């Protein structure tokens, strides 16, 4: 199968910054005059800060599904994803028609919907199979204030990579609002799992959940899954060049590709 374009999947928990990052990366590639297109997979989003080239909202209407099938908001999102999966050939045709070199994919806020349900996995695998894919898993800084939160989200990122079988870069979003002390703490946890373990131990009596947290970190460490964590800001552009450089490394593109 020909590897004719690069895909970048924006992943992360609800509100972690996937949509704003899509816009920032779109600007980055556009400024370099590269052939970039955007694909919005979030059928439930009301407003986007960019004009998607391909938009699943043109294929499914959440409001219609909610009304016709008498569903709640999550049920309607599940139904919309299933419906999109049945129209995957149409989606592929649209990509083929545009023929982008870089395709930025904005995914729905409910990560479990995309990564854990077969329809989401089918959509991502079919898009990824004819391209060179990479995913950016965004960690919202407000979820990783405590060592337990940090290890849980890291575990989620690994679980999502395992589910989707996509190469993954892990990034902390919204760097511009992270306090200096929190950033130092995050860096120390990332640099040394031992620090993370001792912070979990010192956050009270060693309870069952602390033991579990420690075991999780040891497993992540054992399988070398605690790679590099890149703080980025889609708002200020902080480390956007760095994350692009890491994607290029993943794709095997020359270091001087954009010079
Ligand atoms: N300060 C700051 N805020 C950000 C940044 N990126 C996103 N935000 C804000 O975070 C909120 C959520 O951003 P979105 O890009 O919509 O997040 P999302 O992951 O697409 O959200 P859902 O699709 O609803 O799950 C918005 O209020 C953004 O303005 C950033 O780099 N810095
Ligand atoms: Mg979004």
Mutate to test the pocket of ligand 1, among 13, 14, 19 (most ligand atoms within 8 A of CB): 19
Name residues contacting ligand 1 (CB within 6 A). Answer: 12, 14-20, 42, 109, 173-174, 176-177, 233-235
Comparing 157 with 220, the larger pLDDT belongs to 157
| Ligand 1 center to 10 CA (angstroms) | 12
In this predicted model, what pLDDT tens digit does every residue of 90-131 receive, in sequence order?
999 999 999 999 999 999 988 988 999 999 999 999 999 889
DSSP state of 246: H
Indicate the CATH number for domain 5-251: 3.40.50.300
Comparing 74 with 25, the larger pLDDT belongs to 25
Q: Residue 13: nearest ligand to its CA?
A: 1
In this predicted model, what pLDDT tens digit does every residue of 23-69 receive, in sequence order?
999 999 999 999 999 999 999 999 999 999 999 999 999 999 898 88
Helix spans in the chain (H)? 18-31, 62-68, 73-86, 88-98, 111-115, 118-129, 147-164, 180-191, 193-201, 208-222, 240-251
Q: What is the pLDDT of residue 258?
A: 46
Q: What are the residue ranges spanned by the domains of the chain? A: 5-251
Are the beta carbons of 60 and 91 closer than 8 angstroms?
no
The answer to whether residue 259 scores a pLDDT higher than 60 is: no
């Amino acid at each position: 199968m020909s590897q004719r374009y690069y895909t970048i999947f924006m992943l992360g928990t609800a509100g972690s910054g996937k949509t704003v990052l899509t816009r920032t990366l779109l600007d980055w590639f556009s400024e370099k005059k590269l052939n970039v297109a955007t694909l919005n997979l979030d059928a439930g989003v009301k407003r986007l800060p960019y004009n998607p080239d391909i938009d699943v909202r043109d294929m499914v209407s959440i409001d219609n599904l909610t009304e016709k099938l008498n569903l709640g908001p999550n049920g309607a999102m599940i139904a919309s994803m299933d419906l999109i999966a049945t129209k995957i050939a149409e989606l592929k045709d649209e990509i083929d028609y545009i023929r982008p070199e870089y395709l930025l994919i904005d995914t729905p806020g409910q990560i479990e919907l995309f990564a854990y349900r077969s329809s989401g996995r089918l959509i991502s695998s079919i898009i990824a199979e004819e391209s060179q894919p990479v995913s950016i898993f965004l960690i919202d800084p407000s979820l990783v204030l405590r060592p337990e939160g940090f290890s849980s989200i890291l575990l989620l990122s690994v679980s999502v990579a395992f589910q989707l079988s996509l190469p993954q870069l892990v990034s902390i979003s919204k760097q511009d609002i992270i306090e200096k002390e929190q950033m130092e703490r995050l860096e120390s946890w990332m640099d040394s799992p031992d620090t993370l373990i001792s912070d979990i131990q010192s956050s009270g009596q060693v309870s069952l959940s602390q033991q579990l947290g420690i075991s999780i970190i040891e497993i992540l460490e054992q399988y070398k899954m605690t790679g590099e964590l890149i703080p980025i800001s889609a708002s200020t552009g902080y480390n956007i060049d760095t994350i692009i450089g890491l994607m290029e490394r993943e794709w095997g593109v020359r270091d001087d590709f954009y010079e």
